[in-house]
Homo-oligomer: A and B are copies of this chain.
Amino acid sequence: MPEKLAWKRKDLLGIEELSKEEIELILNTADSFKEVTTRRIKKVPALRGKTVVNLFYEPSTRTRTSFELAAKRLSADVINIAVEVSSVKKGETLIDTGRNIEALMADVIIVRHNCSGAPYILSKSVKASVVNAGDGWHEHPTQALLDIFTLKSKLGRIKGLKVSIIGDIAHSRVARSNIWGLTKLGAQVTVCAPPVLIPPGMESFGVKVTNDLDEAIREADAINVLRMQFERDNVSAFPSRMEYFKAYGVTEDRLKGAKKHILVMHPGPINRGVEISAEVADGPKSVILEQVTNGIAVRMAVLYLVTHAQGGAI
C-alpha cells in the first residue's frame, strides 16, 4: 500500500482537523481494501495479532458490526464492550475505562459516546489508537468518509460537486462531518431543513442554507437524506411524521426536477415514509446499500492507517 503521503495520526477523531491530503489518503487506502471485501476469501493478515476494542456507550448495530467486520477482515481480534454490561454501571469514568482497556494491550479503541468530545478526552489518556464512531452531535468521521468515498466512486470526483444534506442538521453528527469533509475536498454543500432544525450561524461553515426542499434538490449532484429522529423531544415543532414527510420527505415526485444522475444517500437506518419514500430508497438513484458496503473498506483503511502511523503524533 505505497502512498506518497504517510499517515501520522495515532487517532481518527474527526474530519474537522484533517487536511485534504489526509482525507484523500484514507479514500485511496479504502480503494485498495474495497477489492478485498469482494474476494472469495475476504481476509488479509494486516492486523493479525492486534486487538481492536469496540467500546460503545450508545447502542448501535450497523456501525459496531461494520467496524467489527472491518477489523476481522484485517485478521485482528475484536472485543465488544457495550455499556449495558460494562463497569460503567459501577460508575467508572471514561478515562479509567480507557486506561484499563489500554492496559489490556489493546491496539485500537473504537468509541461511540453520547457526549461530544469524549473520543478526544479518551485519546489523550491512552497510547492506543482511538477511532471516533460517533460522539454526541459532534462528529461521525467514518460515516462522512464512506459517504464521500461512495460519491467519488460513483461520480468520479468530489471537487465541484453540489451536495445537499437534508434533514435534522442541528442534531446530526453525520451532517457536521460531511460538511467538513466535502468542503475541504472542494464540493459545494447546501443544507436543507425546516428553520427549527438548522442551527444559527450555519453559513460560517461555508455552506448554503435553504428551507426549500425543491431548491436543495434542483441543482444537486447528490443528496444525503438524514434520519428523522422523532424519539428526540426537540422536534415537537412537527406535529407528526406525516407532516414532515409532506414538507421534507424525498419522493420520486420531488426528484422530478433533479439532475438525471442525482445520487440519493442516507446513513441509515431509513424511516420509509418519513424522510424518504420507499420508492426512492429502493430505486435506481439510491446508493444507500453501496454506502454500507463501502463502510467496511473505509473502516479497514482507517484501522490500517492508525495502526501503521509513522513518525510522532500530530
Cβ < 8 Å to B, chain A residues 24-79 = 37-43, 48-51, 53, 59-62, 65-66, 68-69, 72-73, 77, 79
Residue in B closest to A40 when the chains form the complex, CB atoms? B49
> A96 touches which one: B85, B270, B291 (CB < 8 A)?
B270
Most B CB contacts (10 A, CB to CB) among A65, A82, A231, A291 go to A65
Give bound CA distance, A268 to B295, whole Å.
36
B41 touches A104 (CB 8 A): no
Query: B41 touching A49 by the CB < 8 A rule?
Result: yes
Contacts of A68 in B (CB 8 A): 79
> Would you call A105 an interface residue if the criterion is a C-beta within 8 Å of the partner chain's C-beta atoms?
yes
Which chain B residue shows the least CB distance to A53? Answer: B65
Of A2-10, A86-94, A188-196, the one touching chain B: A86-94
Give chain A interface residues in 159-217, CB to chain B under 8 Å: none
Tallying the copies of this chain within the complex gives 3
How many Å from the CB of A46 to the closest CB on chain B? 11
Residue of B nearest to A100 (CB): B292
Chain B nearest Cβ from A223, distance in angstroms? 19
A16: interface (CB < 8 Å): no
CB <8 Å contact, B49 and A62 = no
Most buried by B among A50, A90, A101, A272: A90
Interface size class of A (residues with CB under 8 A): 35 or more
Nearest chain B residue, comparing its CB with the CB of A103: B292
Across the interface, do B61 and A85 meet the contact criterion of CB distance under 8 Å? yes
A41: chain B residues at CB < 8 Å are 48-50
Q: Is A247 interfacial (CB-CB < 8 Å)?
A: no
A279-314 contact mask (Cβ, 8 Å, vs B): 1 or 0: 000000000011111011000000000000000000
B289 touches A42 (CB 8 A): no
User: How distant is A27 from chain B, measured CB to nearest CB, in Å?
Assistant: 19
User: Shortest beta-carbon distance, A93 to chain B, in Å?
Assistant: 8
Give the residue of B42, B87, B101 whose beta carbon is less than 8 angstroms from that of A50. B42
List the B residue with the shortest CB-CB distance to A105.
B37
- A272–B41 Cα distance when bound, in Å, is 46
* A272→B48 CA distance, assembly (Å): 36
Quote the shortest CB–CB distance from A227 to chain B (angstroms): 8
CB of A269 closer than 8 Å to a CB of B: yes
Q: Do A269 and B69 form a contact, CB below 8 Å, given A41-B48, A51-B42?
A: no
CB of A242 closer than 8 Å to a CB of B: no
A105 to B36 alpha-carbon distance, docked (Å)? 11
Interface positions of A (Cβ within 8 A of B):
37-43, 48-51, 53, 59-62, 65-66, 68-69, 72-73, 77, 79, 81-82, 84-93, 96-97, 99-105, 227, 231, 268-272, 289-293, 295-296
16 inter-chain pairs at a CB distance below 8 angstroms, sorted by A residue, are A42-B51, A43-B77, A59-B86, A60-B85, A61-B81, A62-B100, A65-B104, A69-B105, A87-B268, A90-B227, A90-B231, A92-B269, A96-B270, A100-B292, A103-B291, A105-B296
